[in-house]
Chain A
Amino acid sequence: AASLQKNPTTSKVVLLACGSFNPITNVHLRMFELARDHLEDTGQYSVIKGIISPVGDAYKKKGLIEASHRVEMARLATESSEWITVDSWESQQSDWVETAKVIRHHYEELLAREHNRDNVDTVKYTKKRRIEENYIASSLMLLCGADVLESFGIPNLWKQEDITEIVGQYGLVCITRCGGDPYKFINQSDDLWKYRKNIHVVHEWVTNDISATHVRRALRRGRSVRYLLPESVVRYVQEHGLYSADSEQKNADVVLAPFQKYSDASTSG
C-alpha cells in the first residue's frame, strides 16, 4: 500500500501468524498485505511489523517436514518484504507450544523492546510524560485465515481460556475468502461474540484457494508450483527435493500434539 502518513494517534500493531507454513505460499504472504491494508484503512492503526512463526516439529501434523526447512523457506519468501519477518523461537522449542503462549512470548518481547527504547528516549520524553500524553503501547494481533477461527470449535484443539485470552487481550485479524462468513461463527460463540470488537474480519478480494496442501500435492506429482510460491522458495524446494509421497506420510500414525495434550490431561495446564 502507498505509505499512509503514520498518524501519531494511531495504535501501533504487530501481526503474528502461526501455522505450519509447510510450505509458505503467496497466499500466506497475501494475508499480511491484506491485513495491513485493512487495519490502516480504518485510520486507527499503524501496522509496524509482521511475524511469521512456523510451528515446531513436535506439532506432529501429517506431512510436516523439518522446521529448519520451513523456517528457511519463510526467510527466503520474506527477503523482499520491508516489514514481514520470520521468527524461529516457536519452531525451536522441543515440545509443541500453544498459540497463546507464542503470542505471550512475542508480546513480552515487543514490550521489552519498547521499554528499552523509552529508556533511550529519556532526553526527549520521560516515560511518565508519555503516559500523560496518552501513550498507546503497541498491540500484537494474531493473523489467521477463517479456517483457524472456525477451528476454535474443534474439541480438544484449543483450551477455552486460551481462546479467551487471544481474543480478549490481544485480538485477531481473520482473512476470509469471498463468500466466507466468519460472522456467523463469531455469532454462535458467546466468547467470540463478547470480544467481537477485537476480531477484525478482512475479505480477500481475489479468490485464491491455493493452499500448502495443494502445493504439496502438485509437487508429489511432479507438477509446477511456480508463481504459487516466491521464486526463491520454488528453487529451495527443488534443490532439497522436498515434498514427496514419503514426506507426506510423516506422522501418519501419530496423534496431533494438541489432541494428545488435551485429551491426556485430567487437569488443564
Chain B
Amino acid sequence: MASCRAPLVLLACGSFNPITNQHMRLFELARDHMHSTGRFEVVGGIVSPVSDGYGKQGLVPAKHRISMAKLALQSSNWVTVDEWESQQPDWTETVVTMRYHHGQILKEYEQSAGRHSDTSGNFASPSSPFPQLKLLCGADFLSSFKTPGLWLEDHVEELVQRFGLVCVSRGSLQPERAVHESDTLFRHRRNVFLVREWVRNETSATEIRRALRRHLSVKYLIPDSVIEYIRQHELYTEDSERRNEGTALRPLIKQAHQPIKSLDD
C-alpha cells in the first residue's frame, strides 16, 4: 500500500428507486479508476437515498428504498447505505449531506487517531492523511447542474472545490462537455474525475419500474433479494408511479427565492 495515496470515501446521492446493478457498478468503476490514478485508496462507499421530501414522481417511501439498498449491498464489503439524508424532515441539499458525512468521517478519524491503534481501521494512524470525501455520480447528474433552479451556484462551487466529483460517463452523455460549458466546473476541473465506461450499460431505475409495472422480468438487472422484496411489498405499480404527479421537485421550490445565477458567468 503506497503511503502517498490519500484515503478516499465515495458518496452517491440519488433516489435509488430502486437500487440497480448499474448503481453498484458506479462504485466499482469509480474505485478502480481512482486507484489507477496512483493518488487514492478508496476506503469506503456510501449510498445515501434521498428523502421522501424530494417530491420526485414515482418515489416510493424511503424506508423501502433503504431496505432494498441494504439488501443489494449485503454482499459488498466496502459500500454501505446511510439513512441520515432520508430521515431529515425536508429535502436536504447535496452539499449539506456531503458536509454531514465529512463531519462523520472527521469524528471517526479523530477517534481512531486518538487511540493510536494500528488495527485495520482505515483512519488508524495519526500520520495518515485525512480521508477525502468525493461525490460519486453519473454524467446525467453533472448535466443537471445546468437545470435552472435545481442547484445553487455556491453549492456547486463548494461541491467541486472543497470536496470533488467522480463522474462516471453513461451512454452518449459527455461529461467533458458539461465541465467545458460550466465556468465553475472548469475552474475546478482538477477535482472533477471523469471515469469512462466504454461499453454502454444503461440500466435505469425508470426502465426497471416500467418493466415491473408490466410484469416483465428484471432478473439479472437488479439483485434477486431486491426483486423478492419488491414482490413481497408490491412496490412499483401504476399507482406508485403516479405519486407526486404534478408536484414540483422540492429543490425548485426551496431554492426559488434564491437568485439563480447562471453557471456560465
Contacts and interface: CB of A to CB of B under 8 A. Distances in A.
Interface of A: 1-2, 26-27, 29-30, 33-34, 36-37, 80-81, 205-211, 214, 222-224, 226-228, 230-231
A210 B29 contact: no
A1 B25 contact: no
Contacts of B220: 26-27, 29-30, 33, 230
Contact of B221 (A30, A211, A226): A30
B16 to A, nearest CB: 14
B75 A211 contact: no
B108 interface: no
Interface string B196-229: 0011111110010011000111011100100000
Contacts of B202: 206-208
A228 B25 contact: yes
Interface string B161-172: 000000000010
A209 B216 contact: no
10 contacts: A1-B216, A2-B215, A30-B221, A34-B217, A81-B219, A206-B202, A206-B221, A222-B32, A223-B32, A227-B24
Nearest to A28: B220
Nearest to B224: A80
B31 interface: yes
A206 B203 contact: yes
B80 interface: no
A193 B221 CA distance: 33
Contacts of A228: 21, 25, 201
B28 interface: yes
A222 B36 CA distance: 10
A227 B217 contact: no
Contacts of A231: 75
B215 A205 contact: no
Contacts of B25: 226-228
B200 A36 contact: no
A227 B211 CA distance: 19
A214 B171 contact: no
Interface size class of chain B, counting residues whose CB lies under 8 Å from the partner chain: 20 to 34
B217 A209 contact: no
A210 B207 contact: no
A37 B224 CA distance: 18
B211 A205 contact: yes
Given A205-B207, A205-B210, 20 more contacts: A1-B215, A1-B216, A1-B217, A26-B21, A26-B221, A30-B220, A30-B221, A33-B217, A33-B219, A36-B217, A37-B217, A206-B202, A207-B202, A209-B200, A210-B199, A210-B201, A214-B199, A224-B28, A226-B25, A227-B25
B215 A224 contact: no
Max chain B Cβ within 10 angstroms of own Cβ: one of A206, A208, A231: A206
B190 to A, nearest CB: 24
Contacts, number: 66
Contacts of A211: 199
Contacts of B216: 1, 37, 205
B73 to A, nearest CB: 11
Q: Which 8 A-B pairs have the closest CB atoms?
A: A33-B217, A224-B28, A2-B215, A227-B21, A26-B220, A207-B202, A29-B220, A209-B200
Contacts of B221: 26, 30, 206
A203 to B, nearest CB: 12
A208 B217 contact: no
Nearest to A213: B199
B172 to A, nearest CB: 10
A239 to B, nearest CB: 15
A255 to B, nearest CB: 28
B211 A226 contact: no
Contacts of A209: 199-201
A224 B29 contact: yes
B31 A224 contact: yes
B33 to A, nearest CB: 9
A36 B211 CA distance: 14
B47 to A, nearest CB: 13
Contacts of A27: 220
Nearest to A231: B75
Contacts of B198: 214
Contacts of A29: 219-220
Contacts of A206: 202-204, 207, 221
Interface in B10-24: 21-22, 24
Nearest to A27: B220
A228 B221 CA distance: 9
B24 to A, nearest CB: 5
A205 B202 CA distance: 10
Contacts of B29: 224
A208 B219 CA distance: 14
A226 B203 contact: no
A222 B31 CA distance: 12
